[in-house]
Amino acid sequence: MRAYLVLDLSVHDFSRFKTYIDQIPAFIAKHSGHYIVRGVQPTTIEGDWTPERLVIIEFPERTKAQAFLDDPEIQDLFKLRHATTTSRLLLADGCT
């Protein structure tokens, strides 16, 4: 079953965050993921959820998404994202 990482973020330090932008695609590909939505400014239709930027990454299965999140080589990039953005991240299984 496919799995999706949904990232809602506001960037506070773009010059440092650019390193994350440049390096993260290789790790996504390493774990068989690909972008569905990449850093767009979404339009809120209902409710009070107002992400500044939205990213959705699809993985062929949840274990691949979890391996991406747990990859020791990517942890410094995640720390960089945490230091340069305010972000919320969800992992959701797709429909069969």
Q: What pLDDT digit, counting tens, does each position of 52-87 carry?
A: 999 999 999 999 999 999 999 999 999 999 999 999
User: In this predicted model, what pLDDT tens digit does every residue of 8-43 receive, in sequence order?
Assistant: 999 999 999 999 999 999 999 999 999 999 999 999
Rounded Cα gap, residues 81 and 65, in angstroms: 18
Rounded Cα gap, residues 33 and 52, in angstroms: 23
What value does the mean pLDDT of the chain take? 96
What's the pLDDT at 15? 97
In the predicted model, what is the mean pLDDT of residues 81-94?
97
Rounded Cα gap, residues 55 and 8, in angstroms: 7
**pLDDT greater than 90 at residue 96:** no
